[in-house]
Every structure is written in structure tokens, then in C-alpha cells.
Structure 1
């Protein structure tokens, strides 16, 4: 039987790389950080704000995301959107994910 700490550690490792792909896919429609944080959580990608915001900045620096400030509301918000380069990467990563899923199903004897 696995203890909770061991299980939590390995689940965190498993999910870590998936958050980048999830952000690239979700942000094909513009959204701001806090809303993205909530949406990721509701879709099963629980991520801490202290992880998400540096990730968004890194993806923007890598030109995988673009951003614009919306100052029309009382509180200015930075909206992120997946760039063309980010869409291409998301497509490639999605194909890689599908290949891994097939490989895991084969290992489990499900194919």
C-alpha cells in the first residue's frame, strides 16, 4: 500500500509536464491568470498560483504565448493567448501525448 506522501509526490511529477500543454490548449482562447488558474483546477490540473504565473511568463518569453492588458474594467488584467508558435507546439505535444497514451495502454494490456 502506498503512503499519501509518496503517492502525492509521484502524481505531482506526472502532472508537472502536462500543465504546459494544458495552458497552451486552453489559451487558444484569451484568458487572464486567475481565471486560467480556476479553469485548470476545474479541469483536473490543480496548479498553484506560485507555479502558474512564472510558467506564463516563461511561455511568453519563449514566444509560445502573447499577452495584452485589458484596462476597460476597474481592475486591469493581463490576458494571455497561445501564439501561432504555441499552437504548433501544442499540436506536436498532443500527438506525443496520444502516442504515450497508446504505449501505456499497450503496457497495461488494453490495446
Structure 2
């Protein structure tokens, strides 16, 4: 049987997975390379390990939601990512869905900052 902390971490990871995809798409409305993307997300309170970020970027690109380009900057090659036109459409749809889910969850769990009643 899983310990309570293991179960929490498992459910937390599941909850974060979709949120991270949405956050990455939203932050890539402006072109960035991996390190600056990771910094921007951390500044917004979403820390993400490189081992999570780079596979996510590759997956989103393979799905046609991002485009990337290698360029040399500061004497180093860096891969820059930005939303594709399909990514912009998908982001708008996902934000709309996220807002609907968030509003529903706030009704179910109570107002933001309130502890849910059990």
C-alpha cells in the first residue's frame, strides 16, 4: 500500500502534468530558448526540471504546436521555441477549457484560499 506522501506526490504529478503543458504554450507566445523559458515559468511559481521541460518541448513540437530553430547566441548554439499557428489556436481553446474547469473547481472546493470542507 502506498504511503500518504507517495500517494500525494503521485496525484500532485498527475495534476501538474496538464497544467505544465498549458503554461509552456502560454509562455511561448514569445520566442524563448529552454533556459529562459524555465526561468520565466519559475518566476511565475512553476518550477520545472530540465528532465521534464525538454521532453515536453519535443512532444509539443512533434504535435505541431511549436516551431523551433537553432541559432547561435553568445557564442553558443541555442534552440529557440515559439508557438506555431496551430499552437496559438490550441492555446486559446485550452485556456477557455482551463477557465471553465477552474471555475467549476472553485464552486466545488470553495473560494480560493478556503480549505475545502470534507
Class of the TM-score when normalised by the shorter of the 2 chains: 0.7 to 0.9
Distance 1:4 1:41 in 2: 24
CA-to-aligned-CA distance 1:60-84 (integer Å, 9 cap, x gap): 1111001112214311111000111
Partner of 1:57: 58
Which runs of 5 or more residues in structure 2 are unaligned? Answer: 112-118
Partner of 1:89: 90
- Alpha carbons of structure 1 residues 109 and 18: separation in structure 2 relative to 1, 3 Å: closer
Query: Alignment partner of 1:77: what SS?
Result: strand
Cα shift at 1:5: 3.8
CA-to-aligned-CA distance 1:8-59 (integer Å, 9 cap, x gap): 3322221111111111110010000111112212212222111111111111
Q: Give aligned pairs, total.
A: 109
Query: Alignment partner of 1:28: what SS?
Result: coil
Partner of 1:31: 32
Higher-RCO chain (CA-CA 8 Å, sequence separation at least 6)? 1
CA RMSD of aligned residues (A): 1.7
- Alpha carbons of structure 1 residues 73 and 109: separation in structure 2 relative to 1, 3 Å: closer
Which runs of 5 or more residues in structure 1 are unaligned? Answer: none
Kept in 2, the 8 Å contact 1:15–1:45? The answer is: no
Distance 2:35 2:102 in 1: 30
